Each structure stands twice: as C-alpha cells, then as structure tokens.
Structure 1
C-alpha cells in the first residue's frame, strides 16, 4: 500500500506528501510486493526498483478487528542508507509465533542520492534527510491507519537493522528529542553509525551530482529545478559511490550517501544530542553479532591495506589516527579464505561502525535517562551463534546473522540452512524475547519456557545476554572491547571538535 505520494517530478527531494486517496468504494489490490527504492550503483531501469517506491506492508491476524488493539511491530530496514537491502521480509511467521497477538509492518524509504542528497541548495528548495522524513511519515501513517488492521496506535514498537537501527537512533533524536507519541519502545539490531556530516561538508557531493547530470551550468538558484527535470536514468547514472575529498581509489567508500546534521530534524551531531539528553526515552533492546565487520572489511594482505580502507571510509581520519587505530588492533590469527590482515580489519571496522556505536549510545541512554527506571530500561545482547558455512568462509558470526532467528527463518529469502537443523533451537528462544518485548516492553514476560531471565543493562554492571547455539546466558561484557570503544569515542570527540572549529 502507498503511505506517501510518489516522490517524482516536483516532489523529488521534498518531504513526503500525503498519497492521493482512491475513489470511495474502490478496492485496491495489495497482494504483491511493489518496487523498492533505487539503490546506488544499479543501472536503470532496475528490475524490482523504482523512484515510485514509498510503500508499506502489513501482516495481521485474519480475525483482527478495529477493536483488537494489538501491539504493532514496525521494522525499519537497513542498507547503509544507500539501498533497501532488507525489503519485504515476510512478517507472517512472527505474527503466527506471537499467537496472533501482534501486527507486523515494514516499508521502503528513499536512499542514496534520492534520499540523502545534501546542500544548502537542497535546503532552500527541498528537504534535507528526505529518507528519514519518509520514515517519520510512515510512523504517522501507522498512527492514523493501523487501527483499521487491528493494531493499537498507542502501542507501536520500532525496530531497525543496521542503517535501520541507526535510523531508530535518529528517530529518538528527531527535533531535539521531541516526543510526538509515535512509538513506545525501540529495538536496535546492530546500530550503523557512519560519519554523520554537516551540510557544509557535503557541498562537494552536490556539486559532483549537478556536474554529472548537466545541471552545473545553470545558476545556483535553478539547480534543484534542473535536477527535477532530468530523466530518472540520468540521475541514477550519478547515483554511485565516489572517493571522499582527499582520498584515493580504490577502494571506494562503502557508504557514500548518509544522513546529515541539518539543524532541524537532526539538530546536532548524534553523540552530542545523546550526551545532552536530547532524545526520546523509551525501553529498548540493543545488540550486535560477534563479527560485525566480516561482511564489509577488505581482504587486507598488509597493515597498509587496512589503514587505506579505514581512511577511505572515514574521511576525517588522519595518518596519526590510523596509527593509533593500528596500535589498538594488532594482527589476529588467520581465518579461512582470507589474507593475513583481514581478521584485524574486520574487528576494527566492526567495532568502529557497529559494536562501539551501540556501546556508546547505550551508555549515554543509561547515564542521561536513568534507564534503571522501568519505563526506560535497556536490554542488550551479543549474538554468538555459530554456523558451519559462515565459519568455513571465515566470516565468524556476521552482521545481521541474528535476523533469521528474530523474524523466523522462513521470513528471509536466504536464511542459513542451520536454522532448520542444529541451530533450530535458537529461533523460538530469540523470537520469544523479541515478541515479548513487542507485546509488553519486557523481553521476559512471554519468553520461551526455560530460557534465562534477561536482566536490564546499566553502565555499572554492564550485564548483557549472550545468545549461543546451546542457549543464552548473562555476562558482564568484554573489558578489552569496552576500552577500545572508549578509544573510538575519544577519537570521534576529537573529530567533532575539529569540525566545529572549521
């Protein structure tokens, strides 16, 4: 179903608009998945992708009515803000395993240059962070319409994976933490925190786009008009990763278009907003897999390969920074099918981009929101379920490997076969915790019988749930990881001061 008007023509790079309502009595067929949003590096036309992509999917029990008031699980997919990579995951298994006691929702949002083109020229004639505004529009759509499917508009829990988890963090920070009562709880699965640039730091990106699409020759005031007049194919041809200023190629940055600090929707650097307590306070589940970097890291043969990769993906890193990083990440034992420095590059990138952002965010949430209060409790986890195919490929427990156990293996198009064999027991365990949280904001109330109590996290005890093939247990975390996360936080603070002084 449409939750917003097609973002075409004059609606490109603007806040999402209300969709045109069908004529009374008209029945819209909503039985097949419509296109997802155009991602970077995809030739146009792209099968299954389109500019016209702002659609939502809803799974509900067949007997649900407007009086059912079922809890609502809204999933924000990931894709590094450059693609819709978790689109159309089937919510039927989650609804069934809940005992038909929830509503499941997922949706598309604009990505790449379509969702995150940034410049003062975009601000003057459009909207910055259009992809995040799409997400906000969807939450408003849920608030207004979910009762028609049997959902409770006052009990919505948002859940994001990767960039979707980063988006959960952004929605907590929206408008300086203004609470519009769009959700009552949140789940963040591998928070993705790239460099969140200021608008002034992205003018080069906009200039590249206008020059590559033939709009660089018109006056600055008319460049947005020119871009809106271009064919989709012309714009999509410019929708690809390019080197950050001052960086060499290859490798290209993995995530070229990202949310920016626009001064309104995102009023400051995210860590600064969290540190200042400018966020919505709700109960949360936060977690990562053990080897978050293994799907992204370069197959580095040397220490230099690793340093170049980090510099090309984090444009503000200096040579002194990379020297400090390498001192915290000595060479690790080899892994199958990879060069000698891959394990170290994987660990460094995974911690910098996913694991430490979660650690640092949850620390801010706890310190500034008193999360020991029942209304703001934090539940954290580490996913460490081993799979023989992953191990043979040298991937360990990779990014979002927990997703098939959260949604059920039949929900994902390519879940590992082990979830139907030796890892099958993990599925009811993890789904029990997640569905309990969606229903009650407490992962324990409806957990799988026999599974351990998931204790709330705070920065003093640092207790987290470790999920393994043999079950789950509480532990106090990894002291070495905590120290490295403090290092990354200090490095980030230094770069923030550098940016503010420019």
Structure 2
C-alpha cells in the first residue's frame, strides 16, 4: 500500500521515588513534571495532553505486553503493571513491515500501542460512542499508522471517542505452520486486534467512552479485518462492537494452514534455524535477534511461480479452523457472522495503484497467476475474456486500465458487493453464490431456498468518485482509499489527519470533506449515516431499495451451464456515489454484478471462498 507513514520519536521517562526506611521521615514528593489529563488504567497511569480545541490526546499507551522473546508468535498478554506515572505524549514505534530494513527510526518489534482522542470534558459517566480504527497495509505492513483523531472528535461536537492502534503484520503477525500451532498461536495480527478490542471494553470508560457502543472501522486490510471479526469464531458475538465500517474491503488469497508449510520452511532456513529439530524450530526462531528475523521478513514467489515479480501480498491471515473457521465468502454465505449495522464502500478505481502496467493482454493473465497461483490457464483465459481493452490512461501502457479494473474488482469491489449481498440475505446461501450441489462440504449449511431479508435498512454502501487533478494526470482515477483524507479531516495545521492529503481537498474538493466526515461520524454515533449528516448532503438510502428485499421473484439464482452462479432476474441494490457537488444514489450496474458473479465462481482457486474445484 502506498500511503505515507508518519512517525514520531518517543521520549520515555518516568518518576522514581527513593525507598525510605519506615523510621525515617518521608521526604516531600518531587514535583511532577507531567502535567495534563490523567487516566488510571489499573496497570499504570498515563498522562496525556489537552489540545487547544478541547480534545484530550493520549498517545503511545501499551494495550498489551511487549511481544518479545518467548512472547513472539503467541497471543498478546495484558500489559505488565507498573507503579510509575507514564507519559502518553508521543506516538510510539510502528510494527515492522515486509522488507523494511532494521533498525529503522520509528519502527520496532515492540509496537503494541494504542492512541485515544476524547473530549476534554468527558467523564467516566459520559458514555460516548467509540470509534475504533483498524489500519491497513495488506497485512504485510502498517500504512495508516498514527493518523490523528483530533478532527473527528471536534467535528462530532465532542460526542465521540476515537481510538487507533498498531498490530503485528508480516512475518511477525502472520507466520503460519502446524509447527507454530503446536508451540504458539496462529493469526497473531488478528489476535492483537482482538486484544485491543478487549482493552477498549476494560478501559474506555476512563476516557468517557461507552464500551457497549463500539464501532470498528477499517481501511483496506483493516476493512478485511473488520470482515474477519464479523465472522470470527463462526460469528460468535463477544459483545466487542455494535457496528462495522469497511473502507475498501480487502480479500486477498487467504490459504488454509496446510498450504503454508513452504512459507514457514523458507523463513526457518533464512533465519538460520533449518538445522534445528522440527520440534525445536520455534525455540530457535524465538532466540534470534530482531535483525535476523526481519531479514527473513521478505517476499518470495508463490509455489509454481518465479520471481521477480513477487506477489503483492505475501503474508495474510490463514484459515486456522478456530478464529477463522473457513474462507470468508463461505462464512458469510452460511450466515456465520455477527448481525450488526454496517457501512461498506469502495473507490471507483481500486486497482490502479496495484495493477501491472501491462502492454499486452497476456501480461494481465501472468499478473493474476503470480498473485493467485492456483489459477489455471483456462481460468486466466476466462478473466481475459471478461475484461476487454479499456480507454487509455496517461503515463501507462495500453492494457493497464484493463488490469486495474480486473484487479480492483477481484480484490476489493466484488468482495464488497458479494459480502453486502450475503449480509442482507442473512446467510443461508442467499447473498453470494452457495456451493455447487456437487461440491457441498460436510460443514456447509447453504440452502437452495429463497433468501430471507434480515437487516436491510441497516446496511449502507458507497462508491467514492471524487476526482483529483493530480490523480487524473497520473492515470490513477479515484484510487484505493482516496476518501481517507476526507473521512479524518484536514488534521492539525491542515496537513491532513490521514497524512499528506491531495491538494484538491484544500481547494476545489474542500466542500466534500464535511459531507464525508459527517456521514461517517453519524454512523459511529447512531449506526446510521443520516441523523447527523451535513445539512446539504442527500439522504443515504439503504443497500436495499423498495419492495423490502433486493431479490424479486421466486427461484432466485442457480448454477448455470457455464459454471457461474446466476442471480435472480432483478435486484435493487443501491449505493451512494460520493462526488463533490454531485453526491447521489445509484443502482449497482448489472454488468458489474455479473462480473462479481464471475469472481465468485473462481473463488475456490483465488482462495477467497471455499468452493472446492
């Protein structure tokens, strides 16, 4: 992911008072240099800062123990208790990402920190809605770290508490093997996120937040994480959140654990643990220094492929049969998800910052096989047949626009459309294609019966279509998570709460910023983007429109002779188009839905869904 990462040096100090024998007179306490709002979290007390706009800011607080040494590749533990008053005045280290040199300023293995912004006048009894942001980075890095939550709290009228945090990624967060399972935990990055949500339940009242009203919001891999939390443990509701926001839902190939031993073997060899007995390999890895392991935190070609190039997203969550019981589409199809209000959206040109700059049609097929290695020649032939030559774009080869469209739909847009359909249908095979009758697994609960509309009005979708001159000149269209700068506002000094913002957000696209901020803030506050929307913004209709359900008529869909799932004859799926001066509702185009049906039919080989081929 190409977003800029902002990082800040951390200056750590603590107050130490000398121990005195009981018979001696207790000396007067030293003056406390830490002034500012305090929060007692039971395991320690943090001192933050009060900003001029009436927002309290607490940066770099531990939400888990440092994941070092024997705690590597284990579920995070609660932070250790300390009697020291600690500063929460600077952002702390960001977790190490794929291919990053070590040491590098602002990044470290010790990285499990949380930041909170809250109204200065909030108390333990304020019970304000809580917005938890899960950053993205393709599970290989953290590219949205340390975004500033000040603006959204202020824009809400001091009616929310904002939280963001780091979690382990790459080798540190998603190394997987049966050998690791025997001496550690899988999907560590997801368990870090779960630990943070538990931390919010335990401590957010101290900042004025309401633990019973937490909305989780993710961008890109963060959005994929939100989807995985919706389906975690088969949709078990642990009361950690009441709503979800997915900004560019990301479904890469998510393999089964048994398919990842090659990756673990490569790391073991490169880290110098290949000679160790298989039962001792985890101990060997945990005994290595950070630099040695980070040197192994690199990508290689998937089995059967050659490098260069290496795949875009080398490390991902895996199907472990516990937290992630099966592949995402299947879990949503079968209704194994938590039913809460959701707001999902994508950008018009999701694939433009990822796609190969193709000069020939065949290069697109190779690009897909490099990233989804189970695709066979006939699969790529079908992809190429579906995606014809698109209009040319500046600074790119003739087939780049086609590659961009295909990859954007395969990885972001169609997962969003198909998951929304499943959410609205309530599972049971209604939303996306159920497994073909000849390939139903023993665990499948999909039904051929007509779908049942469950949440309907509590599902909201959008397509972000705000045009920027610089993006257009670069041939990027409306790229991946371009709305982030509008969601989080201009930030301190106008530099952008989400990092350096496109110049257009400060000039000709400035009017869209309050519109976007208020829609998102309203959803966090009311689980609906409408009650607190900007005064000039149109009403955001639900995913379904009219007739109470999006599927009209009986016998809605089935497996066709060409192997594709065909939906019923007519749907009414609606999404908001966010565009400066022209925000409006639209029907999801039938041709895009048809292409999403196509990707659903390939999902067994792309490892986005468990339909065995």
Q: 1:37, 1:361 → 2: CA distance?
A: 30
Contact 1:433/1:443 (CA < 8 Å) preserved in 2?
yes
Which residue does the alignment assign to 1:380? 461
Q: 1:419, 1:261 → 2: CA distance?
A: 40
- 1:234-264 CA-partner distances (Å, limit 9, x unpaired): 1100101110000122211010000000000
Q: Secondary structure at the match of 2:260?
A: helix
Task: Using the TM superposition, name which of 146-155 and 474-483 deviates more.
Answer: 474-483
Q: Secondary structure at the match of 2:522?
A: helix
Q: 1:376 to 1:261 in 2, by over 3 A?
A: farther
User: 1:14 pairs with 49, 71, 74, which one?
Assistant: 74
User: 2:412 pairs with 354, 379, 382, which one?
Assistant: 354
**Is residue 189 of structure 1 aligned with residue 250 of structure 2?**
no
Q: 1:499, 1:50 → 2: CA distance?
A: 36
Q: 2:486, 2:251 → 1: CA distance?
A: 24
Q: 1:375, 1:18 → 2: CA distance?
A: 38
Q: 2:326, 2:145 → 1: CA distance?
A: 29
* CA RMSD after TM alignment: 1.6
Matches within 5 A, 1:401-420: 401-410=482-491, 411-420=497-506
Contact 1:4/1:54 (CA < 8 Å) preserved in 2?
yes
Matches within 5 A, 1:388-403: 388-403=469-484
Structure 1 runs of 4+ aligned residues shifted over 3 Å read: 369-376, 493-502
Q: 2:140, 2:336 → 1: CA distance?
A: 27
Q: Any stretches of 5+ residues in structure 1 without a counterpart?
A: none
Matches within 5 A, 1:355-370: 355-368=413-426
User: 1:461 pairs with 569, 572, 594, which one?
Assistant: 572
Which residue does the alignment assign to 1:427? 513
**Is residue 487 of structure 1 aligned with residue 598 of structure 2?**
yes
Q: 1:117, 1:168 → 2: CA distance?
A: 20
Q: 1:362, 1:192 → 2: CA distance?
A: 13
Q: 2:532, 2:538 → 1: CA distance?
A: 12
Q: 1:143, 1:448 → 2: CA distance?
A: 30
Return the offset for 1:374: 5.8
Q: 2:246, 2:516 → 1: CA distance?
A: 14
Which residue does the alignment assign to 2:227? 169
Matches within 5 A, 1:294-373: 294-368=352-426
Q: 2:401, 2:293 → 1: CA distance?
A: 38
- 1:424-478 CA-partner distances (Å, limit 9, x unpaired): 0101111111101100101100111121111110343101100111131011112
Q: 1:446 to 1:254 in 2, by over 3 A?
A: same
Q: 1:280 to 1:335 in 2, by over 3 A?
A: same
Q: Secondary structure at the match of 2:75?
A: coil
Task: Using the TM superposition, name which of 110-119 and 486-495 deviates more.
Answer: 486-495
Which residue does the alignment assign to 1:451? 537
User: 1:92 pairs with 130, 137, 150, which one?
Assistant: 150
Which residue does the alignment assign to 1:474? 585
Q: Secondary structure at the match of 2:190?
A: helix
Which residue does the alignment assign to 1:103? 161
Return the offset for 1:375: 8.6
- 1:209-233 CA-partner distances (Å, limit 9, x unpaired): 0011111111111100000001111
Q: Secondary structure at the match of 2:211?
A: strand
Q: 1:371 to 1:470 in 2, by over 3 A?
A: farther
Return the offset for 1:493: 4.0
TM-score by length of 1: 0.97
Task: Using the TM superposition, name which of 50-59 and 309-318 deviates more.
Answer: 309-318
Q: Secondary structure at the match of 2:577?
A: strand
Pick the structure with greater CA Rg: 2
Q: Secondary structure at the match of 2:322?
A: coil
Q: 1:143, 1:277 → 2: CA distance?
A: 26
Q: Secondary structure at the match of 2:218?
A: strand
Q: Secondary structure at the match of 2:217?
A: strand
Aligned length: 500
Return the offset for 1:54: 0.3
Task: Using the TM superposition, name which of 388-397 and 455-464 deviates more.
Answer: 455-464
User: 2:87 pairs with 22, 29, 41, which one?
Assistant: 29
Q: 1:43 to 1:494 in 2, by over 3 A?
A: closer
Contact 1:372/1:456 (CA < 8 Å) preserved in 2?
no
